[in-house]
Structure 1
Amino acid sequence: MTSVHSTRTFHSTPTAPCRRVGSLSMPSPTCSPPPKSRICVLGAGNFGSCLADHLGDSDHDVLLWSRSEDFVKFFNEHHKNPEYLTDHEFPECITAVGPDLPSAELIRSVDVLLFAIPTEALRETLTKLRPRLDEKALPLFIFVNKGIEISTRALTLEILADTCGADIARVSTFISGPSFAKEIIRRQPTSVSVASLSQEHAERASQVFHQPWFRCYTGVDPIGIELAGALKNVYAIAAGMADGLGFENNTRATRLMRSTVLITRGLGEMTRIGTAYGASPLTFLSLAGVGDLFLTCSSPTSRNYTVGYRLGKGEQLDEIIRTLGSVAEGVTTAKGLKQIIDDLGVNARIATAVYEVLYEGKNVKEQAETLMNFPVMTELELPEKNPNGPARKLMQKLGLGEDDAGKRA
């Protein structure tokens, strides 16, 4: 098996002074300062911009790529994003680039490529980037998108294998967890899961991001991390629908009760789907699982929750998407997830109900009543592991056996 390792040298930087994090003064690490890296963030949307800001404030040199020439010009002149986080002034160590995709020369100059673009655009982007990669000096690949490709039902790991090859996919890393852009930009304490089939590369990605206000926890189940990050958006739509309906009582206590029920039952569905797929059920108890699920389902600032809430209030999906202002990946993920549920034969009634509202025109209130009228069922039940499930096939595509998952590449 061929292993891919970057030949780049990371240079340690002097310990940085204390930074202000919200109302707390948080010192930078003193015993082991993070290495300084040159990072290219692909995607200047809400989340890509906030991560670029965090990385720039962590003493890295950051390039922020956008397909908009107007954005590149405006950002470099004003150090502000004209569309997202518009009141925030970004560090001067961040330079916007574009609108053309990064050249081979630029890619050779960076240590990290961070992908913060929607999953549906990922295959095209990676296909164009592939000829520009230098096999002898590959940057570290980090992905923060959360979704399932509709036409193929593929996770990012499989899209990577198809476009860039198994060697690169095996050492790519995935970051997911309860993290809202507006809170990261204000340096509110944030914790995330960082996973790769290569423990070494997961640790390297964590080293790039880790700060006292942004804690990273590593793992070796990228399939589970990806599924959890994608699926929680669908259940956030369901939580928003419930709150939008109101059930004739819009008190906080009632909303909290609805959210608790949906989060708990949603977590059960996510774990069943993930287990049938071939992921570890423990991954769904991680920051990327229940942590991100709880945050996204219980916060009105979540884009996916907002879509569900407005559907519950009777608005049409097309109008919601048109006026939302940013991408809610749960809408497209619901379509790919429905195909996965059908293929696996998993009982996932909440996810199915969301799909039927979004794509079959079912009434939100009637769907809620249908869910509440299902007969008694077992609360906790995991399907048997499928030896020929999607995860096993993906591992074979990566040139790995089932027992090799999680080992150092």
Structure 2
Amino acid sequence: MNITVLGCGRWGTFHAWYAHRIGHNVTLWGRPGSPHLAELISQRQNEYLHMPLDIALTADLTAALAGADIVIISISAQQLRSLAKQIRATRLTHMPFVLCMKGLETGSGKRLSTIMKEELGEDARTVVWVGPGHVQDFLSGMPNCMVMASDNKERTRRIADIFSSPLIRFYYGTDLLGTEIGAAAKNVYGIAAGMLDGFHYSSLKGALMARGTHELSRLVAAMGGSAMTVYGLSHLGDYEATLFSQHSNNRRFGEDFILQKPFNKLAEGVYTCEALMDLSAQWQVELPITQAIYDILFQHKDPAEELRTLFLRSQKEE
């Protein structure tokens, strides 16, 4: 099967490597002028992996899409709409698009599958691929469970079966809304976890896990999804990789923020935090943890005071 991967960052290169590893023909696309693509072309490797020689590399989007049976998109969530417009311009939109990123659009709070329908049309065949795992762990041979979800059960099962292997076992998600919101929001709690680490309050991660899932389940239910989806692989199941792992960019961002260290990698939770506050207002659901992180990052409130108030000073029924 011909698989095209759009995006040549950490996860994009992994998805290309993985699709090739399980026997597919793979083309990897990067934006014209991308330093990541230039590095791969010149060295066939990046800081994470060696790229097999028979994976085609290109900056030509039309060429990358032509002949593809399935397209994986693995870029920053905030770049999806502009990329979807470029895809629409090629008129190559008939194949399934698998979204391998976690986030919400800032300014609108819209889910990524919604953006795909708005830009490619209501018949866009979109699947989301989310769940726990880190590139470094997968490359070392450490297996994990992940989840596929879409608005079509047959499509979900088909795509999940195509990409399943001993390295990644897929579960079929039946609640697309809850899966997308949960996958995006866990990055915000990853930032919160990193901030707790920065203050040596790591023991409070248990409270963060319990209260985080609770507040998010209320939002998902209000939006029309299943509150129980939050307790699955897309959200709670991803907490180990996001709240505790040294590989987690969002956790590291939160810790470095407290320690006042520079951080130069993508922490998608920063954008998601802003989008979640839009959803909180729209659906009139309080999100205390998200609010605290938003106030720290965007309102420049004192992190120590906000986190102490959030976790240590409230007395109420659980």
Q: Assess same fold via TM > 0.5.
A: yes
User: Is 2:240 the partner of 1:294?
Assistant: yes
Whole-angstrom distance in 1 between the partners of 2:301 and 2:315: 24
Which amino acid letter does the alignment assign opposite residue 265 of structure 1? R
Whole-angstrom distance in 2 between the partners of 1:272 and 1:300: 29
Picking from 228, 234, 257, the partner of 1:282 is: 228
The 8 Å contact of residues 266 and 350 in structure 1, kept in 2 or not, is answered as yes
- Against the structure 1 CA distance between its residues 113 and 226, is the aligned structure 2 distance closer, same or farther, given a 3 Å change threshold? same
User: Is 2:195 the partner of 1:231?
Assistant: no
Using the TM superposition, give the Cα deviation of residue 89 of structure 1 relative to its aligned residue in structure 2, in angstroms: 1.6
Using the TM superposition, give the Cα deviation of residue 134 of structure 1 relative to its aligned residue in structure 2, in angstroms: 4.3
Picking from 100, 116, 122, the partner of 1:160 is: 116
Which amino acid letter does the alignment assign opposite residue 259 of structure 1? K
Question: Identical aligned pairs, as a percentage?
Answer: 28
Q: Within 5 Å, which residues of 2 pair with 1:43-82?
A: 43-69=7-33, 71-81=36-46
Whole-angstrom distance in 1 between the partners of 2:267 and 2:87: 25
The 8 Å contact of residues 244 and 309 in structure 1, kept in 2 or not, is answered as yes
The 8 Å contact of residues 177 and 292 in structure 1, kept in 2 or not, is answered as yes
2:72 alignment counterpart: 114
Picking from 114, 132, 143, the partner of 2:99 is: 143
Whole-angstrom distance in 1 between the partners of 2:200 and 2:92: 55
Whole-angstrom distance in 1 between the partners of 2:165 and 2:16: 14
Whole-angstrom distance in 2 between the partners of 1:237 and 1:73: 31
> Residue by residue, what CA displacement relative to the aligned partner does 1:8-52 show, whole Å, maximum 9, x if unpaired?
xxxxxxxxxxxxxxxxxxxxxxxxxxxxx1111111111111111
Picking from 351, 359, 364, the partner of 2:298 is: 359
The 8 Å contact of residues 107 and 133 in structure 1, kept in 2 or not, is answered as no
1:90 alignment counterpart: 51
The 8 Å contact of residues 338 and 352 in structure 1, kept in 2 or not, is answered as yes
Secondary structure of residue in 1 paired with 2:142: coil
**Deviation larger for 352-361 or 366-375:** 366-375
Equivalences, count: 317
- Against the structure 1 CA distance between its residues 158 and 131, is the aligned structure 2 distance closer, same or farther, given a 3 Å change threshold? same
Using the TM superposition, give the Cα deviation of residue 93 of structure 1 relative to its aligned residue in structure 2, in angstroms: 2.6
**Deviation larger for 293-302 or 196-205:** 293-302
Q: Within 5 Å, which residues of 2 pair with 1:251-290?
A: 255=202, 257-290=203-236
TM-score by length of 1: 0.74
1:328 alignment counterpart: 267
- In angstroms, what is the RMSD of aligned CA positions? 1.7
**Deviation larger for 353-362 or 124-133:** 124-133
Which amino acid letter does the alignment assign opposite residue 112 of structure 1? I
Using the TM superposition, give the Cα deviation of residue 90 of structure 1 relative to its aligned residue in structure 2, in angstroms: 2.1
Picking from 88, 92, 97, the partner of 1:130 is: 88
User: Is 2:250 the partner of 1:304?
Assistant: yes
> Residue by residue, what CA displacement relative to the aligned partner does 1:326-353 show, whole Å, maximum 9, x if unpaired?
2110011111111111222212111100
Secondary structure of residue in 1 paired with 2:241: helix
Whole-angstrom distance in 2 between the partners of 1:53 and 1:229: 23
Whole-angstrom distance in 1 between the partners of 2:31 and 2:66: 20
Where does structure 2 lack aligned partners over 5 or more consecutive residues? none
Secondary structure of residue in 2 paired with 1:340: helix
The 8 Å contact of residues 8 and 37 in structure 2, kept in 1 or not, is answered as no
The higher radius of gyration belongs to 1
- Against the structure 1 CA distance between its residues 73 and 337, is the aligned structure 2 distance closer, same or farther, given a 3 Å change threshold? closer
Q: Within 5 Å, which residues of 2 pair with 1:183-198?
A: 183-198=137-152
1:27 alignment counterpart: none
TM-score by length of 2: 0.94
Using the TM superposition, give the Cα deviation of residue 374 of structure 1 relative to its aligned residue in structure 2, in angstroms: 4.5
